[in-house]
């Protein structure tokens, strides 16, 4: 069975500071990893994905994520946070042959303050 | 280009009733997936359909069913509604597999 852990329910950061939202995963097989963002009362928006190749993945809105196989982690990062980045962030995993069955974490609420 | 569209956006039902939710995928996408998001939790996979065939099913009871039409749109049906079925139901489309593009969701409240 595959699983995702987002150890922090909430992350607070000051605008202009770097941010990190943590994610660890557990799969039997090669993982495909995703980050999505959800604004209040909205659907999920795709940010970035890791399939294979470079461990540093760049995505939308200046976000990036680093895949670390030995630590089974896929942390989301941004060099300089904006107030508008405040939202709920979900990490998700699926495996090869798993179709579109994504397993999501419980989400991390990011709050960026002035 | 239009994104994934879902209807209705909000609905209220009572226990024991039945509900049908609808989804139109992004043009060119042939796969539709359904997810349930209970308040405070991450989305849970319910179904995937591709070319009108079920390609995956999550751990949901038989009260949940779905189908995909020749134009690739999809319906999710839930029978004998329970209070615990109250959630945001998300539809997502993709070419076959790959990143999913989600709609805004249908928020179901069961009283």
pLDDT in tens, A42-89: 889 999 999 888 899 999 999 999 999 999 999 999 999 999 999 999
Given an 8 Å threshold on Cβ–Cβ distance, is A106 in contact with B92?
no
Cβ pairs A/B, distance under 8 A: 62
Closest partner residue to B97 (CB to CB) among A36, A100, A104 is A100
- Reported as a pLDDT band with limits 50, 70 and 90, residue B97 is low
- Report the distance separating Cα A41 and Cα A34, nearest Å: 21
Quick check: A108 and A77 in contact, CB under 8 A?
A: no
Given an 8 Å threshold on Cβ–Cβ distance, is B42 in contact with A92?
yes
- To the nearest whole angstrom, how far is the Cα of B43 from the nearest Cα of chain A? 6
Quick check: A8 and A89 in contact, CB under 8 A?
A: no
Given an 8 Å threshold on Cβ–Cβ distance, is B100 in contact with A100?
yes
- Report the distance separating Cα B102 and Cα A42, nearest Å: 10
């Amino acid at each position: 069975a595959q699983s995702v852990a987002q150890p922090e329910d909430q992350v607070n950061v000051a605008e202009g500071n770097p941010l990190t939202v943590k994610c660890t995963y557990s799969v039997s097989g090669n993982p495909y990893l995703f980050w999505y963002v959800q604004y209040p009362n909205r659907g999920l928006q795709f940010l970035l994905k890791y399939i294979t190749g470079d461990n540093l993945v760049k995505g939308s809105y200046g976000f990036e994520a680093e895949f670390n196989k030995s630590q089974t982690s896929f942390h989301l990062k941004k060099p300089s946070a904006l107030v508008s980045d405040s939202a709920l962030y979900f990490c998700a995993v699926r495996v090869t042959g798993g179709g579109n069955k994504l397993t999501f974490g419980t989400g991390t609420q990011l709050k960026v303050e002035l | 280009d239009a994104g994934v569209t879902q209807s209705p956006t909000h609905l209220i039902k009572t226990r024991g009733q039945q509900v049908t939710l609808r989804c139109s995928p992004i043009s060119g996408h042939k796969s539709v997936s359904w997810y349930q998001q209970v308040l405070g939790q991450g989305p849970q996979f319910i179904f995937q359909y591709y070319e009108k065939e079920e390609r995956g099913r999550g751990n949901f009871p038989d009260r949940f069913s779905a189908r995909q039409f020749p134009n690739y749109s999809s319906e999710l049906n839930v029978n004998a509604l329970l209070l615990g079925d109250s959630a945001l139901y998300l539809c997502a489309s993709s070419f076959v597999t790959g990143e999913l593009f989600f709609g805004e969701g249908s928020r179901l409240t069961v009283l």
